Amino acid sequence: MELQNTQLLLVMVTYLSLLIAWGIYQGRKVKNSADYAIAGRQLPGWVAALSERATGESSWALLGLPGAAYATGLLEIWTALGCVTGIITAWALIAWRLRDAAEKYQVSTFTAFIARKHGEVEQYIRMIGSATIVFFFFFYVGAQFLGGGKTLNTMFAIDAKTGMLITAAIIVPYTIYGGFMSVVYTDVIQSLMMIITLIAGPIVGFIYLANHPDLYATNISQALHQAGSEYTSLSGGLQGFTAGIALVGGFSWFFGYLGGQPQLSMRFMAIKDARQAKKARNIGIVWTLVAYLGALCIGWIGLALFGPTGLTDRELVMPSVLLTIFPPVIAAILITGAIAAMISTADSLLILSATELTDNLLQPLFGKAFFQKRSLLFSRLITGLIAAIALSIAYFGKTTLIYSLVSYVWAGIGGTFSVVILLTLFWKRYHGIAVIITIISGLAFTIFWISSGLDKQITSRLLTFFVALAAAVLSTFLIKPERNNYQLSMNNEQ
């Protein structure tokens, strides 16, 4: 066992050291705040696609989703279906539009695009939008630190909180130094590691099950049937209205992918040109289909290996499966896919939060001239500060499930800003005051719904989208924008 841990540790340290070095090397290309925030809008399509997918899946796809599949069986297909449908919709309908808009308005942050498009209340949108994103992303970054802590705990029996500190120590330095440029190119490596893990894990897992008849089950079908009827039911054994709520709740992840996740939309905005956008779309869609099938299979293979009560924490199923079916060295290499997933989201969220806070909140407060001379310095300082706060939330917080943390953010940010992005891109009548009302309504509803406990009845991932949509439509029709500025904005569009 000691030899196994030594091998695991050696592989992990080597991989992460090379990753950090690669991130620092890419960071040398950063010359100004635009490079730091959006890589100068010059990303090749394949880089943007792999970076977007690595960032989008985070610890969710390798810990959260397999864990949910292990705990609920076929019911989790609805979650996967919602995510995959949302991702395909985003790449097919939204990605190239956001890329063109970013080029047209010459913007380097997510909120800046929305604000520039609705110029009549631009400054207010910048402040409110950025404050909302930064608030929720504290929890999202915290979820990635939490995922790192859990994985290191499984591999080396390191205390989970100590694991969080180690994960932060890996992520934060190169992120502070290289910004978006470092992040997207390290994402490429991590995305490849993740997809290899999600392909190799199920293939070897099926072979392992077939050759070990003494296990809980020798195949996925048998495992699901032995675990109970609720595992083989697409409704989780529920009936009637309750079953409908469960199915819709799983599929509701769809709404968060419709342009409403800033860290993903920034990848769309950073693509070099229209030809590269098409290439990115194709790569992104294929990656998604393969990855989600693999994530579900790993969860169900875990059920066959350990039975429904064999793991104390369902979100440890992925590293537990790989450590069982692979030799230690290979398992360590593949488990770096989980670490990669956490890193690829945490660093992206840190950069996005820092640039949103710096460009849209602090710069107006202290003056543009003051910040222009020190733009890179301030961006790096703010990145470090946000990392410290997010780590504190994860370290001292009571929420332990990655699924819950990500779900919280998916509702507050994804549900709200998906409405804002969709209407901004496809409805000319939608105006700036309505944008502000949409953001505030989505934020307030999510906090109320989750804190009241009602989220356990009907998920806020579904309701936030429709509450924000209702607020957007009603305020667009009932409130008239400032006429002169609004007319000027409309003329600029034509």
The DSSP line for 162-212 is HHHHHHHHHHHHHHHHHHHHHHHHHHHHHHHHHHHHHHHHHHHHHHHHHT-
- Torsion angles phi and psi, residue 458, rounded to 5: -135, 125
Asked, for residue 414, whether it belongs to a domain, the answer is no
The answer to whether residue 428 is domain-embedded is no
SS3 72: helix
Question: Could you tell me the two tokens for 262?
Answer: 């800033």
CATH number of the domain that residue 259 is part of: 1.20.1730.10
Q: Which domain holds residue 49?
A: 2-398
Q: How many CB atoms lie within 10 A of CB 456?
A: 8
Bridge partners of residue 43, in order along the sequence = 271
Residue 212, amino acid: H
Residue closest to 183 by CA, chosen among 10, 71, 17, 39 = 39
| Residue located via tokens 């990848």 | 267
Q: What is the mean pLDDT of each run of 10 residues along the chain (494 residues)?
A: 70 81 82 72 91 83 89 92 94 94 88 90 91 84 79 78 86 83 86 91 96 92 93 83 83 90 91 93 96 96 94 88 90 75 75 84 74 72 87 74 66 92 94 95 90 85 94 94 52 49
Which residues on adjacent β-strands are paired with residue 79?
A: none
Burial of 251 (0-12, 13-18, 19+ CB in 10 A): buried
Look at residue 319 and tell me if it is in a domain.
yes
C-alpha dist (Å) from residue 50 to 273, 342, 430: 16, 15, 33
Note whether residue 18 is domain-resident: yes
Considering only CA atoms, give the Rg of the chain: 22
Q: Is 466 inside a domain boundary?
A: no
CB within 8 Å of 383: residues ≥ 6 apart:
172, 175, 176, 179, 350, 351, 353, 354
* Cβ count near 213 (within 10 Å): 8
479: number of Cβ within 10 Å = 12
Phi then psi for 154, rounded to 5 degrees?
-65, -40
Classify residue 447: in a domain, yes or no.
no
Neighbours of 116 (CB within 10 A): 19
Per-residue tokens: 66: 């397999």
Cβ-contact 94, 425 below 8 angstroms: yes
Reduced to 3 states (helix: H, G, I; strand: E, B; else coil), residue 227 is helix
Burial class (CB in 10 A: 0-12, 13-18, 19+), 210: exposed
Cα–Cα dist 381/350, whole Å: 11
Q: How many domains does the chain have?
A: 1
| Beta bridge pairs of residue 96 | none
Contacts of 480 (CB under 8 A, 6+ apart): none
283 occurs within a structural domain: yes
Predicted local confidence at residue 494, as pLDDT: 46
Phi, psi of 431 (to 5 degrees): -125, 175
Report residue 228 CA to chain centroid gap: 32
- Report the half-sphere exposure of 374 (CA within 13 A, side-chain side): 12
Question: Angle at the Cα of 445 (from 443 to 446), degrees rounded to 5?
Answer: 65
Query: What gap in Å lies between CA 89 and CA 109, rounded to an integer?
Result: 22
Residues 279 and 45 sit within 8 Å (Cβ to Cβ): yes
Query: Which one-letter DSSP state was computed for residue 271?
Result: B
The answer to whether residue 93 sits within a structural domain is: yes
CA–CA gap between residue 432 and residue 294 (Å, rounded): 42
pTM: 0.85
Distance CA 165, CA 114 (A): 35
Q: Which residues contact 122 (CB under 8 A, 6 or more apart)?
A: 115, 116, 432
Which residues, 6+ apart, have CB-to-CB distance to 209 below 8 Å?
215, 217, 218, 219, 220, 301, 304, 305
What does the alpha-carbon distance between residue 89 and residue 287 come to, in Å, rounded to a whole number? 14
